[in-house]
């Protein structure tokens, strides 16, 4: 009887430990991919001023979609929320040189399995940047 209990406990440990380790690995991988995509998107926004905020939001969304497809990351495009907000604006219509912005990317908290109960949180990355396009670049 003691051997049966020991076998049951061993099986439980063998099932629970990999699930927990895989859960942590999944979260860390998603966080690293989110950081990578947000860095690329911030650089993209910095180098692409001269447009309105709405147009820039659409271009950033398209850029992120291309990044996810090219790099074959595990993040999925539909569940990724993207927000670009100007914090300091020189021109009220166009993003121009020295405008400051905040880029916010968020995904639902990744879960390897639904067996481990977790609150529904989000992984979020917030980056700040400055538009690097000069005023004379806006005319071309």
pLDDT of residue 133: 64
How does DSSP classify residue 118? -
The residue with greater pLDDT, 4 or 25, is 4
The answer to whether 34 touches 75, Cβ cutoff 8 Å, is yes
pLDDT tens for each residue of 113-124: 566 666 668 889
Cα separation, 89 vs 96, in Å, equals 8
The residue with greater pLDDT, 20 or 52, is 52
Nearest alpha carbon to residue 96 among 140, 138, 54: 138
Q: Tell me what the mean pLDDT of segment 71-86 comes to.
A: 82
């Amino acid at each position: 009887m003691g051997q049966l209990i020991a076998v049951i406990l061993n099986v439980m440990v063998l099932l629970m430990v990999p699930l927990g380790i895989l859960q942590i690995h999944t979260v860390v991988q998603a966080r690293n991919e989110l950081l990578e995509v947000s860095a690329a998107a911030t650089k993209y926004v910095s180098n692409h001023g001269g447009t309105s905020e709405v147009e820039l939001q659409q271009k950033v969304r398209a850029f992120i979609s291309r990044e996810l497809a090219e790099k074959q990351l595990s993040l999925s495009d539909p569940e990724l929320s993207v927000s670009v907000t100007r914090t300091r604006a020189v021109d009220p219509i166009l993003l121009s040189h020295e405008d400051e912005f905040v880029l916010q990317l968020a995904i639902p908290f990744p879960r390897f399995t639904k067996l481990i109960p977790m609150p529904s949180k989000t992984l979020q990355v917030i980056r700040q940047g400055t538009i690097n396009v000069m005023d004379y670049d806006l005319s071309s």
